[in-house]
Amino acid sequence: AKLEISYLSMIDGTGKEILAGKEDNVKVVELDVWFANEKAIVCSVPKDGEDDPLSGDGSNVLFFVAEENLDEELEKLRAA
């Protein structure tokens, strides 16, 4: 399965918004999904010319975990 994520901005660990720029500058990332349920998603960023998406050092593998208290966890990461 595939997952496509597009975004105009993101929030860094200090709470600062980083803009992608103009609307025609929207960032798009396409991911291969290997596992997904209500608690976690395992994806990989496709590598050009690679048949095995899990080869190498794993730097292209993303693991998303559901967070019940997202605001609280983000607040812990903020720079004081």
The pLDDT, as a whole number, for residue 70 is: 83
Q: Where are the beta strands (DSSP E) in the chain?
A: 2-7, 9-11, 17-19, 27-36, 40-44, 61-65
Q: Could you give the 3-state DSSP secondary structure of residue 27?
A: strand
Identity of the residue numbered 27:
K
pLDDT digits 0-9 by tens, 25-47: 788 889 999 999 999 999 998 88
The pLDDT, as a whole number, for residue 32 is: 92
Q: Could you give the 3-state DSSP secondary structure of residue 21?
A: coil
Tokens of 44: 């990989």
Identity of the residue numbered 1:
A
Higher-confidence residue of 61 and 10: namely: 61
Residue 79: band (very low, low, confident or very high) from pLDDT cuts 50, 70, 90: low
Identity of the residue numbered 61:
V
In the chain, what percentage of residues exceed pLDDT 90? 30
